[in-house]
Amino acid sequence: MDAESLPISALQHFLYCPRQCALIHLEQQWSENFFTAEGRLLHERVDEPAHTRRGNIRYVTALEISHPQLGIHGVADVVEFHRSHEGERPYPVEYKRGKPKAHRADEVQLCAQAICLEAMFSQPIHEGALFYGRTRRRKTVAMDAELRSLTVAAINGLKSLWHSQRTPPATYDRKRCSACSLLDVCQPQWLGRTTSVRSWLQNQLVQ
């Protein structure tokens, strides 16, 4: 990340766990587990830029998007361009492993993509979709005022985290932490008062 533009993917990390977001994007920590590997494999089909057309829909994969005013950028998995008498309207589709979740982090990531596409193509976007690998189904997401407000709040929260350059302290949540690939790096059950993995490692080296 840099101060000029933050990656849209970091919004999902931030909403899932601000500490996870800081470990990945501030401290450059990363570790893969079954869940991240599954997600990586799911994305292989949409990671290469390509253009195809079926009927009245043009499909673009791995489309680079940005919104300079909001200071965000990213790569949209799939953008469908639906053709009508009014022209082509973008429709973002984000690929996710697993199944629909109780939290709205995936929806916020999709909404941020929609906001970028609106600015880039001067077209209003009323909905998009999340495709989940486990269910093999799409979940339609309405880009309503509530979701847009949550997305802007998440962007501002991410910016605050970036400008602080501080990793939040660990807070253990069994369900959330057990699914996190950074569990061994984060050590949430032991590092409740430690705000930096680097400082924890330094403490271990001098003991």
How far apart CA 138 and CA 87 sit, in angstroms, is: 24
Is 205 domain-assigned?
no
Is 193 domain-assigned?
no
CATH code at position 34: 3.90.320.10
Is 195 domain-assigned?
no
| C-alpha separations of 126 from 21, 66, 140 in Å | 28, 18, 11
Range of the domain at 42: 6-165
Name the residue among 25, 33, 5 with its Cα closest to residue 177: 33
Is 176 domain-assigned?
no
Is 97 domain-assigned?
yes
Percent of the chain exceeding pLDDT 70 equals 82
Domain count, the chain: 1
Q: pTM (2 decimals)? A: 0.81
Mean pLDDT of 165-171: 90
Q: Are 94 and 11 in contact (CB under 8 A)?
A: no
The 10s digit of each residue's pLDDT in 137-160 is: 999 999 999 999 999 999 999 999
Query: What does the block give as tokens for 18?
Result: 């601000």
Q: Are 55 and 105 in contact (CB under 8 A)?
A: no
